[in-house]
Amino acid sequence: MATFRKRSGSWQALVFDTKAAAEAWAKVTEAELVRGVFVSRKEAENTTLSEALDRYEREVSSTKKGHRREKTRISIWKITLWQNGF
């Protein structure tokens, strides 16, 4: 789990518990880059569930036979998320 500390007026996130864990992550990531199989997760990490539901409704659900029913279900999920603070 990440820890945070204030450093020189800015915040710094410490993600790895040990140097060995950081080196292992770097080794795997570099190997993926060399093999050309690295997939950036930045977009996924910056997308909210509500945004993903909107995109699903627009790009996938709209092409399906039961689009109206699915649109209603998505709306209910989004209301429930909003009510629970997500």
**pLDDT on residue 39:** 85
**pLDDT on residue 1:** 67
Task: Delimit the domains of the chain by residue range.
Answer: 3-39, 46-83
d(CA 47, CA 75): 18
Ordered per-residue pLDDT tens for the chain, 86 residues? 678 888 888 888 888 888 999 999 899 999 999 998 988 888 888 998 889 999 999 999 999 999 999 999 999 999 998 888 76
Tokens 């995109």 belong to residue: 55
Q: How many helices and strands in the chain, by DSSP H and E?
A: 4, 2
Single pTM value for the model: 0.52
Q: What is the CA radius of gyration of the chain?
A: 20
